[in-house]
């Protein structure tokens, strides 16, 4: 894939920006800047910034159209974006000028940034990886779309009451999203249920039609993804659902009233809320509806867009790739087959050749409880045409297994089929579908990929070794150092230049300062200031004083038994008991910090949160240990609080059960901010 450069980069115009902010508060709210609420100021500033992004956004899309590069569609049920304002300013290289401009208007940019709700359309690692990839793709100038769902409610907000987690709905769109663009002209219809009828047309071809279905209208909303310093603006396209037709009187007359109401409910329910499960499969019908909803809309649009510029659908894979973020978007495979056969009248073999060169699958876990398996009856009832296609893929795949292994001595073909079939034991196995129907299967860390090849997916690796590859995860240094830790970012730039901002390996030039006493002292000073910043946050949110001179020992990630937060807190209990028994023992003061959300129905995870908070209560209030140990549970750990936490960490806890954590990414965010890893 080659990267694109636009012809002109529209630079930030400070005076225009200031006028635009004043104008926006006036036209949006009929107010002066002094009268506007903090939220209104945030909106006015964001619209002013969006106006400046728009020009680069148009130019980028025009350049893509002219240069016609291959385009990746990153399909994901989750995009854990966090806040857009500060990140866009960083990538426009306009953060400091805007901060100054705000100051001149009597505003504090940090306060304005804090008004923005996090876009928390994701659970944890997998969703944040998607967000980091979008940042990286735009920065590298690749033609890329993120495709996802515009959930009305994102990841729940976590409150701690009496030490227990309480989930509060995240109404992130309550004040409107100034960065989004509604694009009704690209709406698509998505069909559910009913049955498939077959007839033979004049050319003797079988024509499949879905009938008696319910449908919804998928409406795309576009969010700009600003590349760093290159004028590129890519698009995250998230789909909202609306009823296909509004309530119709004649529907009532026709006796279709029931169906009309059902269609309205379907549209409302589909995009209502993100499932808050992390690394755990929940076989809920609504979840499958969500998956097919955004995939059908995205695949239809990808094909439509391609056909607006090209005339030969058979060359689709030369210009398009679908990267599937885990198995959650895997119905894309059958949906693409459906569009190619039913809408473009291709034969099975033609459609299969295109599909298998278009789709690629990323595996994020080897844990069996996270593997998606849908009961046949549910799957076929909801997606009758898609199920037919999956059945046919499975039938042909089983023939391929038989063909390959029937005459191989020592191989039990039926055993192979039992282990590898896409449909088996009344279930549709999405990972098997994704492996068989794509050109690439990747793990997310070297060790994880090796485990896939040698253990979990061994049979598939034996059959298709050429498909397997590793793509080690990464994070964006622009959010997690440049934005989250400006003091350290400036220090790094002062020492090794600014190339690290777009080429992270350049940061290794710091090596020569490892033993440099002055550099060490400067680094520790910066760490100290970031710890003061976090201590202030903790005082405000937890009403507990922590000593910024103590070691900040941090574990922040989703709460899961395999991640072993329980082991961490048990160790803290041990240290506390030991210190109580030997109060005069030499002990360097330590502050243990946790941040974690538990899936709403995950009992042990929720009990671990309660345990951490109970232990914190005891330890933080025991005068015997003279404040040498503190335990802090940070409520509502999210992307925004993460930036403050990583910057202040001395020790990064990476203590999951061996082989269970596919990659992890908080490990990298800690390292980037100069914390040592405990593992």
Interface positions with ligand 26Q (CB under 6 A): 123-126, 129, 275, 277-279, 281-282, 287, 364-365, 370, 372, 444, 473, 661-665
Nearest CA to 231 among 73, 476, 3?
3
Name the catalytic one among 237, 338, 364, 606: 364
| CB closer to ligand 26Q out of 448 and 590 | 448
Q: How far is the CB of 512 from ligand 26Q (least distance, A)?
A: 31
Nearest CA to 156 among 471, 599, 458, 533?
599
What DSSP designation does 153 have? Answer: B
Q: How far is the CB of 327 from ligand 26Q (least distance, A)?
A: 8
| CB closer to ligand 26Q out of 24 and 362 | 362
The strand pair at 423-424 and 427-429 is best described as: antiparallel
Report the 10 Å Cβ neighbour count for 175.
Answer: 15
The answer to whether the CB of 78 falls within 8 A of the CB of 127 is yes
User: Alpha-carbon dihedral of residues 550, 555, 559, 562, nearest 10 degrees?
Assistant: -130
Q: How far is the CB of 645 from ligand 26Q (least distance, A)?
A: 18
Distance CA(411)–CA(133), nearest Å, equals 41
Name the catalytic one among 99, 373, 563, 628: 563
Q: How far is the CB of 303 from ligand 26Q (least distance, A)?
A: 26
Distance CA(193)–CA(578), nearest Å, equals 63
| CB closer to ligand 26Q out of 488 and 556 | 556
> Which residues, other chains included, contact 496 with Cβ-Cβ below 8 Å and sequence gap of 6+?
506, 507, 509, 510
364 carries an active-site annotation: yes
558 carries an active-site annotation: yes
The answer to whether the CB of 563 falls within 8 A of the CB of 612 is no
Nearest CA to 273 among 256, 252, 287, 285?
287
Distance CA(195)–CA(387), nearest Å, equals 11
| CB closer to ligand 26Q out of 125 and 231 | 125
Q: In the beta sheet, which residues pair with residue 470?
A: 443
The answer to whether the CB of 590 falls within 8 A of the CB of 144 is no
Q: How far is the CB of 352 from ligand 26Q (least distance, A)?
A: 27
| CB closer to ligand 26Q out of 207 and 282 | 282
| CB closer to ligand 26Q out of 126 and 538 | 126
The answer to whether the CB of 324 falls within 8 A of the CB of 441 is no
Q: In the beta sheet, which residues pair with residue 119?
A: 82
What DSSP designation does 84 have? Answer: S
Name the catalytic one among 99, 453, 560, 669: 669
H or E stretch covering 597: none
Q: In what order do the strands lie in the sheet with 590-595?
A: 629-634, 590-595, 551-556, 651-653, 676-678
Name the catalytic one among 557, 564, 590, 606: 557
Backbone phi, psi, residue 343, to 5°: -100, -30
669 carries an active-site annotation: yes
Q: In the beta sheet, which residues pair with residue 590?
A: 551, 629
| CB closer to ligand 26Q out of 49 and 366 | 366
105-108: long-range contacts (C-beta < 8 A, 24 or more apart)?
Answer: 105/18, 105/21, 105/22, 105/33, 106/33, 107/33, 107/41, 107/45
Q: How far is the CB of 79 from ligand 26Q (least distance, A)?
A: 12
In the complex, which residue's CB is closest to ligand 26Q?
125
| CB closer to ligand 26Q out of 248 and 677 | 677
Q: How far is the CB of 1 from ligand 26Q (least distance, A)?
A: 21
Distance CA(580)–CA(479), nearest Å, equals 41
159 carries an active-site annotation: no
Q: How far is the CB of 275 from ligand 26Q (least distance, A)?
A: 4
The answer to whether the CB of 643 falls within 8 A of the CB of 484 is yes
| CB closer to ligand 26Q out of 52 and 277 | 277
188 carries an active-site annotation: no
Q: How far is the CB of 76 from ligand 26Q (least distance, A)?
A: 10
563 carries an active-site annotation: yes
Q: How far is the CB of 288 from ligand 26Q (least distance, A)?
A: 9
What DSSP designation does 178 have? Answer: T
Report the 10 Å Cβ neighbour count for 389.
Answer: 23
Distance CA(609)–CA(165), nearest Å, equals 7
Name the catalytic one among 483, 558, 590, 597: 558
| CB closer to ligand 26Q out of 406 and 677 | 677
Residues annotated as catalytic (active site), given as ranges: 364, 557-558, 563, 665, 669
């Amino acid at each position: 894939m080659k990267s694109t450069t636009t012809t002109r980069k529209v630079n930030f115009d400070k005076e225009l920006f200031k006028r635009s902010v004043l104008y926006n508060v006036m036209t949006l709210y009929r107010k002066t800047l002094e009268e506007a609420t903090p939220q209104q100021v945030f909106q006015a500033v964001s619209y002013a910034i969006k106006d400046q992004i728009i020009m680069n956004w148009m130019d980028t899309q025009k350049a893509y159209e002219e240069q016609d590069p291959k385009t990746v569609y990153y399909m994901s049920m989750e995009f854990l974006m966090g806040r857009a304002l500060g990140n866009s300013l960083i990538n426009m290289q306009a953060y400091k000028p805007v901060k100054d401009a705000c100051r001149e208007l009597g505003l504090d940019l940090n306060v304005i940034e804090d008004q923005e709700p996090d876009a928390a359309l994701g659970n944890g690692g997998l969703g944040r990886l998607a967000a980091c990839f979008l940042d990286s793709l735009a920065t590298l100038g690749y033609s890329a779309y993120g495709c996802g769902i515009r959930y009305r409610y994102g990841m729940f907000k976590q409150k701690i009451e009496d030490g227990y987690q309480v989930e509060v709905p995240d109404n992130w769109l309550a004040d409107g999203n100034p960065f989004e663009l509604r694009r009704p002209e690209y709406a698509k219809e998505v069909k559910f249920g009913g049955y498939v009828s077959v007839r033979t047309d004049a050319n003797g071809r079988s024509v499949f039609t879905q009938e008696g279905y319910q449908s919804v209208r998928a409406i795309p909303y576009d969010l700009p993804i600003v590349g760093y310093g290159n004028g590129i603006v890519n698009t995250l396209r998230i789909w909202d659902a609306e009823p296909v037709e509004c309530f119709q009187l004649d529907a009532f007359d026709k006796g279709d009233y029931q169906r009309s109401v059902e269609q309205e409910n379907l549209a409302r329910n589909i995009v209502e809320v993100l499932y808050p499960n992390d690394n755990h499969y929940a076989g809920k019908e609504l979840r499958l509806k969500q998956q097919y909803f955004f995939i059908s809309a995205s695949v239809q649009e990808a094909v439509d867009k391609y056909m607006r510029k090209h005339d030969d659908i058979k060359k689709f894979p030369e210009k398009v790739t679908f990267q599937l973020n885990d198995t959650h978007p895997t119905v894309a495979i059958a949906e693409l087959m459906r569009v190619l056969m039913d809408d473009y009248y291709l034969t099975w073999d033609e459609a299969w050749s295109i599909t298998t060169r278009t789709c690629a699958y990323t595996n994020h876990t080897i844990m069996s409880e996270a593997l998606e398996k849908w009961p046949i009856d549910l799957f076929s009832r909801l997606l009758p045409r898609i199920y037919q296609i999956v059945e046919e893929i499975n039938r042909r795949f089983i023939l391929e297994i038989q063909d390959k292994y029937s005459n191989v001595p020592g191989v039990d073909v039926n055993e192979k089929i039992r282990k590898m079939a896409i449909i088996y034991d009344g279930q549709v196995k999405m990972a098997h579908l994704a492996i068989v129907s794509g050109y690439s299967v990747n793990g997310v860390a070297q060790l994880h990929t090796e485990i896939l090849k040698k253990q979990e997916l061994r049979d598939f690796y034996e059959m298709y070794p050429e498909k397997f590859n590793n793509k080690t995860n990464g994070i964006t240094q622009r959010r997690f150092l440049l934005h989250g830790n400006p003091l350290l970012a400036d220090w790094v730039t002062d020492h090794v230049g600014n190339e690290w901002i777009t080429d992270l390996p350049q940061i290794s030039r710091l090596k020569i300062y490892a033993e440099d006493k002055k550099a060490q002292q400067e680094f520790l000073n910066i760490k100290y200031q970031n710890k003061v910043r976090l201590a202030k946050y903790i005082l405000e949110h937890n009403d507990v004083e922590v000593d910024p001179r103590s070691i900040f020992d941090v574990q922040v990630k989703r709460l899961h038994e395999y991640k072993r937060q329980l082991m961490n807190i048990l160790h803290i209990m041990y240290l506390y008991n030991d210190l109580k028994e030997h109060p005069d023992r030499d002990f360097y003061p330590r502050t243990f910090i946790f941040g974690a959300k538990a899936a709403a129905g995950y009992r042990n995870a929720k009990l671990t949160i309660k345990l951490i908070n109970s232990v914190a209560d005891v330890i933080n209030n025991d005068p015997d240990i003279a404040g040498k140990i503190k335990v802090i549970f940070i409520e509502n750990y999210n992307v925004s609080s993460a930036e403050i936490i990583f910057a202040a960490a001395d020790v990064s806890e990476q203590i999951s059960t061996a082989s269970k954590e596919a990659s992890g990414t908080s490990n990298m965010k800690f390292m980037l901010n100069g914390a040592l890893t405990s593992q």
